[in-house]
Structure 1
Amino acid sequence: MFLKKTRGDREEAGLSLVRHEFIYQAIKEENQEHNYPISTLCKFGKVSRAAYYKWLHREIPESEAENLRIADEIERIHEESPDKGYRRIKDDLERYHNIKANDKRVLRICRKLDIKSTIKYSNNGCTRQAANPQYIAENILNREFTSGAPNEKWLTDVTEFKYYVGIIKHKLYLSAILDLYDRRIVSYIIRDSNNNALVFDTFDAAIEANPDAHPIFHSDRGFQYTNRAFHAKLEAAGMTQSMSRIAKCIDNGPMEGFWGIIKRERYYGKRFTSRDSVVEMIEEYIDYYNNKRLQRNLGVLTPLEKHESYLQAA
């Protein structure tokens, strides 16, 4: 009984050759350039001669050719950014490579190519709770992590990065402020010391860039944020201070999430051997994050695209 193949069947048939395509192509090139025996090359590639010749002389179906084209771009994306999973790869294909494919198709090709995103490591924050806090604010934000407009809700925190000079370990501290509407990094400061000046200067930079902003300003109970002088700065700027509860890092979830993103995508698994290399990595990543990193929860836009779309509509 003849059964007509569905589009899914044809696509899966095309995918079946994606993994071996590169092996077959290598065999063909080595044979043509160096005249190595096909049988020997097939043995090294762990494929049969019959399968190779079938590939060599076949007519390539349209669906298979499309899968191979998509697979080639997926490999390039993965080599450049191994942290990306299939969903982010799919979004990049559509936005930056003009290739439309649904999530399932990209996932199947990634599985055939054994492409997986890098492992997500747990983030261990470095903010020190104040032993004798001068000012404690209520958790006004109350995990309401959505916002109707830019500069309504800001989150902030400090995290640390390590680098080595010889066997000596050094630390750098990154303080940043994140807007909950468009998830953009509003401001950031990198310093060698985790102190009040680090946090105060980050706040001042945010105000300078957004002089009319009067958001809810949420943080954990780190010693910088419970400082009376910092609370006075917030009041002078017309902001409402909010703080996470003790031992409830989820109260500042999106900020903690950003630390996890930057460290998973650019920091974990690497050994930095100079201060400049860490600073350059952070600066380049935040520029990439704000301007090029597509986010599905923003409608497959970058943070600055989301921000600018609001300004244009206002």
Structure 2
Amino acid sequence: MKYALISEYTDQYPVTLMCRVLKVSRSGYYRWLERPISDQAQRRLEMEELIKDTYEAFEAIYGAPRLAKELAELGHPCSVNYVAQIMFEQGIRALNGKGFKYPRHSLTMHNVSDNLLWRDFSACQPNEKWTTDITYIWVKDRWLYLAVVMDLFSRRIVGWSLDTSMTEALISKAMDMALRQRETTPGLIVHSDRGTQYRSQAYIDYLRANEISISMSRKGNCWDNAPMESFFSRLKVELIYPKNYRTIDEARSGIFAYIEIFYNRKRRHSANDGVSPVEYEEAAAMAA
């Protein structure tokens, strides 16, 4: 579809130029961007991710009945048949006997890296340890997905990306922003959870090409990435819930102002002796 093609290359070419070349209107393209996603389709996408993550968290042992119970405990009730259907479509099944074989395309625990941090979130200098994660943000009638990269030295947000889909491109854009504005050296550790996006081959190759050491949390252990969990909690309490954004543009502008102006440059952080991330980095640079 022409609109989808334009959306894929907005970082490389002007929208006006692409619309002219493809002979479509700019207004039509922007209307397409704002097209509503049905509640049923959105829930399906979310449940697919939840089922995949839960399946992996329990080391491929659980089948549809147990996965359905785990999801209900997490606040996402669904029928066993619903889970079984998604598992069938994704080509995953429980490991339950010596005759079991993983399908060629099943979600085995591929591309999992060791936990290099082991909850040591301290850093001696900028660009030594980064951590990254994705959170969900509800805007009117759809979910937005925010990927963030944090430098653990100062807790500064050095990269972020907001989109309507939770894909490998989302996290790569956030990482690309961080790498473009920071001077990194080989050996930088980037820590994340074991989400499917962070284990995608394209993302792994991208980090390795930039000589980055990859670290991942243990299965289902959110505290292995506690600084990011803390940031997302602050973001939602201080911005998302009070503002209750109604459009994507409003949310994007608000998140930009919160991260780049308030959080990075004004908000005092206990891990920084009570100063903002930018002020903490500037003081460290002067003392060096």
Cα shift at 1:270: 4.5
Deviations 1:105-145 (A, max 9, x none): xxxxxxxxxxxxxxxxxxxxx88637334301011110001
Deviations 1:168-210 (A, max 9, x none): x111111110011100001111111110100111111111112
Cα shift at 1:309: 1.4
The residue number in structure 1 matching 2:217 is 244
Deviations 1:58-87 (A, max 9, x none): xxxxxxxxxxxxxxxxxxxxxxxxxxxxxx
Contact 1:199 1:224 (8 Å CA) reproduced: yes
Matched, 1:173 2:145: yes
Cα shift at 1:268: 2.1
Percent identity reads: 35
Unaligned runs of 5+ in 1: 1-125
**Alignment of structure 1 residues 1-314 onto 2, 5 Å:** 129=53, 131-164=107-140, 169-214=141-186, 215-287=188-260, 288-314=262-288
Classify 1:286/1:213 alpha carbon distance in 2 versus 1 (closer, same or farther; 3 Å): farther
The CA distance in 2 between the partners of 1:208 and 1:145, in whole Å, is 23
Unaligned runs of 5+ in 2: 1-48, 57-106
Contact 1:176 1:187 (8 Å CA) reproduced: yes
Cα shift at 1:225: 0.9
Q: Which has the higher contact order (CA 8 A, sep 6+)?
A: 1
The CA distance in 2 between the partners of 1:210 and 1:273, in whole Å, is 33
Question: In angstroms, what is the RMSD of aligned CA positions?
Answer: 1.7
Aligned length: 185
The residue number in structure 1 matching 2:69 is none
TM-score w.r.t. structure 2 length? Answer: 0.61
Structure with higher Rg: it is 1
Contact 1:182 1:298 (8 Å CA) reproduced: yes
The residue number in structure 2 matching 1:5 is none
TM-score w.r.t. structure 1 length? Answer: 0.56
The CA distance in 2 between the partners of 1:211 and 1:232, in whole Å, is 20
What residue identity is the alignment partner of 1:180?
L
The CA distance in 2 between the partners of 1:142 and 1:179, in whole Å, is 16
The CA distance in 2 between the partners of 1:235 and 1:312, in whole Å, is 32
Cα shift at 1:211: 3.7
The CA distance in 2 between the partners of 1:200 and 1:133, in whole Å, is 21
